[in-house]
Homo-oligomer: A and B are copies of this chain.
């Protein structure tokens, strides 16, 4: 198992320019000695909504889908795709110490488990670390605000445009990408049915806005048009 970089620098596991850069050697040692590395296979559940929040996770490699679950209606809402160097844990921290989101590995994924108690201790000692955490949280809130507006006020074309732009810009960093997400996942992300997703993707392909082969390769051909569709809803 790789050790963390010393001297207030980032994790050796790839965590660059994150809040962990703010830690002292002593604090890094403390986290380092208590952390556990765990590997998940594709499709495995990393943690589940309602379960105890004992650790904050850092993704070392792989990809994870994070979503809200509804027991009654079995309708999920996919919130984000988490990638390496991102922390996942959720808002139960300092509240009820429960998970409010579910995380499932989209491919084989390595994670570091950091004890919540270590997290708290360091946060109490190191105010810059706490500030960075609040900043991170607030950024997420701004993101969810946008999600609330988009999912409640836009119609299907706009929502699919949003989902495709999110994947290209935020997840894959390219207008041409292969995704691990199923049509149902795209539907859960856009708050609609998989049938509607399929129909709109077909429309987008027919009008030359995107290309799509073998179900999982996407290419954005006319990004301006897609952005316009996203804006007009």
A88 at the interface (CB under 8 A from B): no
- State whether A135 touches B191 (Cβ < 8 A): no
Smallest beta-carbon distance A151→chain B, Å: 5
Smallest beta-carbon distance A26→chain B, Å: 17
Annotate A138-151 by CB proximity to B: 1 below 8 A, 0 otherwise.
11111011011101
Which of A71-79, A168-176, A201-209, A217-225 touches B?
A: A71-79
A127 at the interface (CB under 8 A from B): yes
- State whether B153 touches A75 (Cβ < 8 A): yes
A47 contacts which chain B residues (CB < 8 A)?
none
Which of A90-98, A107-115, A177-185 touches B?
A: A90-98
A134 with B94, Cβ < 8 A, contacts A77-B149, A148-B151, A151-B148 known: yes
A68 at the interface (CB under 8 A from B): yes
- State whether A133 touches B134 (Cβ < 8 A): yes
A149 contacts which chain B residues (CB < 8 A)?
68, 70, 75, 77
- State whether A141 touches B73 (Cβ < 8 A): no
Taken together as a complex, chains A and B put the C-alpha atoms of A127 and B92 apart, in Å, by 19
A233 at the interface (CB under 8 A from B): yes
A231 at the interface (CB under 8 A from B): yes
Q: Which residues of A contact B (CB under 8 A)?
A: 68, 70, 72-73, 75, 77, 79, 91-95, 100-101, 120, 123-125, 127, 130-131, 133-135, 137-142, 144-145, 147-149, 151-153, 191, 231-233
Q: Can you list 15 A-B contacts (CB < 8 A)?
A: A73-B233, A91-B138, A93-B134, A94-B134, A94-B138, A95-B139, A130-B130, A134-B137, A141-B141, A144-B145, A144-B148, A151-B151, A152-B152, A152-B191, A153-B191
